Amino acid sequence: MIQWYYLTLISSSLVGVASILEKKVLRRAHALSYSSITTIFITLLSLSFIPFLNFNIKLIYWVVLYVMGITAAISYWLTARIYKHANISISTPILSTVPQMLTVIFGYLLLGEVLSFIQYAGVAILLVATFLLVSHTTKPSTKRYAKKYPIMLIAIIFLIAIDAIMLKFILSGVTIYTALFIIEVFVAFNLFVILRHKHGNKKEIKRNIKKFWKPMLIIAALAVLYRITYYAAVAEAPISLVSPLRNVINIIMIVSVSGVFFHEKNIKRKIALSAIMIVAAFMIIV
């Protein structure tokens, strides 16, 4: 069996590639319809796991799976809006570190996962590095999102941390393929409900499918792969270790290429701070 840290590194690399493609698509696509379409593609691709699915699971897991379907749907939608209206080299480091700190805390409080002194020191370093990074954040591209941006970031941070804890609980009684399939079905349903409530028609979905179905399908395929490898890693190791490593490793990839593709400023400074986060992440998994 592949060691959990190899699975985590594979997942992290795939997340980085998917994030770059996502940013490019979201420059022209509507965030909510993008999230809905991509999730539908992921669900369709997950049908290939049908021979490995086992729906004979306890009621408590069904409840938590659906709750995660709701929180993940909101998280996907808000993350897409953040990627659309803010610099990826700032959004990604924040969303790849701060939620993981909460995950470590929740892991201790709810799952009894105890870390060493060095690991807690790593969390502290991540906090400081993130503060320094955010203190020079470029404003969102539109004034409309200047006030909403911090609120959405805070919401996503808590949702990601809560989802990580729920996933660890779910995988204690549900297979990784079954968990992925059920969660994606619930997420697709909830995003469709949100889309209908926000827009009330199918024009936006049809337009985005016609224009962006190829990159969305690629992103969906990458999502299936990075979620399967992530789920497999979480099933083997404490969430307090897997989650920080998986989400921080891809920062270097994101901030390195963002300057080339999206012409963002202060890339060297962001890379330096991201490198500090990487060191801190390895301190967490010692």
- Condensed to tens digits (0 to 9), the pLDDT of residues 3-41 reads 888 898 899 888 888 877 887 787 777 767 777 788 889
Q: Which three-class secondary structure state does DSSP give residue 172?
A: coil
Average pLDDT over residues 163-181: 94
**What percent of the chain stands above pLDDT 90?**
25
* pLDDT for position 182: 94
Q: Rg of the Cα trace of the chain?
A: 18
Residue 137 reports pLDDT greater than 70: no
Highest mean pLDDT among 65-74, 144-153, 236-245, 277-286: 65-74
Average pLDDT over residues 164-191: 92
More confident residue, 92 or 56: 56
For residue 138, name the pLDDT band (cuts at 50, 70, 90).
very low
Residues in contact with 245: Cβ distance below 8 Å, sequence separation at least 6, in sequence order: 5, 8, 9, 12, 281, 282, 284, 285
State the angle between helix axes of 59-85 and 148-170 in degrees (0 to 180), rounded to the nearest 10: 150
Residue given tokens 């379409």 in the structure block: 37
Going from the C-alpha of 249 to that of each of 4, 206, 232, the distances in angstroms are: 14, 35, 17
* pLDDT for position 87: 59
